[in-house]
Structure 1
């Protein structure tokens, strides 16, 4: 008995399409190989630094009141009275409440030399009083008042602190100037390198700000004493530094 087999044209067409799709990625890959690695290295990388100098327009000063008494309650009362006088004086000099902030408050016992215990003979520390410290940080926006403000605070009871940081309320303009100088510095370096290498400098490929570093601001510490005269101060200048990294193309 003969059996006849009839092949459908649709099946043959599907097999043909599948074969073509499997071969197409290899064919396209062979037609478009990736660029050689050295083609991606035709560039010049440089860094540039810009510094902008500006006079400070604000100071941040730390002021502390410390009181010692036989009991913690007595030390706290004395400290509160002195600090109220300081805060009232700051307010009278035009310092806004938002520019005064408590930085530290502490109460701890003070110990005398250890005494020998009658029970076991071991030295035992003895409490001979309590110390209360209240520290505030003050932003002074009128630098002409800074010396007199410190002098008045000392006479009202401030006996620790005196660390001053000169800064700027809004350094945006100085930073923008530093950025422009940093980019100009990087471009000048790139042109010099290209000329020395005998190549033509192309356009900028990438640029990024690597680091933003305000230079350390002039600071000073003063010993607080009630005999202090009006404090002479010098604000100096603040430096703001910006560093940029730039990549330039090298023309073929």
Structure 2
């Protein structure tokens, strides 16, 4: 008698004659083999539950630019102090405010995406073009050469300032108040916002619930296959838990709400609207059943 495999979309039947178990390499049954004439069925049980998040995680940053690194850092520190004070005033605990990035980098005249560099470059180019036009009208070779040298200097890469950046990772349990909090910190000086990532802070009870539902789903599927084959479930041979997922949402930490040094006043902004919605928590489990004749 040979073992027979019958595949289906969600399961696998395998008849296992006692005398063939070891020779077919079925080591999983070596210690506890299936009875002669019985079948083995493997199914995946799946389940999901939906729950409202109770935690919002975001990044709130301040970027400032100045001619010197010291001035950029000083301005940044003053603005970030106001942002942190506003976070605490809105009920965010100190333990939920964490520095995630701190940097000071040079701004080059070729950083065309930086408004500070763009402004300096525009002014320099305007002065150079004006000097070149004046030299051309006067026919002054010396002035014309000076204008050309100025144009070359404008085109050559050079440091024109420094940008300081300080980014906080903020945890907020009041998910409904996330939009209002963002409005307040922008008014306090924040000009870089990332998030939110909505999560469930303590998910242990939900994980237990979805696991039980996944196991029940596996048994329901097994019963359907067994009944169709004229068999019934004898026992569970093995179980393999799949991945629990959906306990939080991700987001891009590098998302910028605005340019550095952008002046923002609270009355000028519409209120930020954020909808936490629900998270879908899923689980899967692989269960191997031994089936026997009715």
Bin of the TM-score, shorter chain as denominator length = 0.7 to 0.9
Secondary structure at the aligned position of 1:211 is classed as coil
Which of 273, 281, 288 is the aligned partner of 1:240? 281
2:47 maps to 50
Unaligned runs of 5+ in 1: 1-33
| 133 and 198 in structure 1: CA distance in 2 versus 1, 3 angstrom threshold | same
Q: Which has the higher strand share?
A: 1
Given that residues 198 and 248 in structure 2 are in contact (C-alpha distance below 8 angstroms), is that contact kept between their aligned partners in structure 1? no
Secondary structure at the aligned position of 2:196 is classed as strand
Secondary structure at the aligned position of 2:243 is classed as strand
Given that residues 194 and 251 in structure 2 are in contact (C-alpha distance below 8 angstroms), is that contact kept between their aligned partners in structure 1? no
2:68 maps to 71
Aligned length: 217
Match status 1:201 vs 2:240 = no
1:28 maps to none
Secondary structure at the aligned position of 1:59 is classed as strand
Which stretch of structure 1 is more off in the superposition, 105-114 or 65-74?
105-114
What is the distance in 1 between the residues matched to 2:242 and 2:19?
A: 30
Unaligned runs of 5+ in 2: 1-17, 25-32, 112-120, 122-147, 259-263
Query: TM-score normalised to the size of structure 2?
Result: 0.67
Query: TM-score normalised to the size of structure 1?
Result: 0.77
- Equivalent residues in 2 for 1:24-173, closer than 5 Å: 35-37=19-21, 42-113=39-110, 124-173=156-205
What is the distance in 2 between the residues matched to 1:99 and 1:112?
A: 38
Given that residues 64 and 158 in structure 1 are in contact (C-alpha distance below 8 angstroms), is that contact kept between their aligned partners in structure 2? yes
What is the distance in 2 between the residues matched to 1:216 and 1:110?
A: 36
- Equivalent residues in 2 for 1:165-184, closer than 5 Å: 165-184=197-216
Given that residues 79 and 133 in structure 1 are in contact (C-alpha distance below 8 angstroms), is that contact kept between their aligned partners in structure 2? yes
- Runs of 4 or more, structure 1, over 6 Å off, are 114-118
Secondary structure at the aligned position of 1:231 is classed as coil
Which stretch of structure 1 is more off in the superposition, 220-229 or 54-63?
220-229
| 204 and 52 in structure 1: CA distance in 2 versus 1, 3 angstrom threshold | same
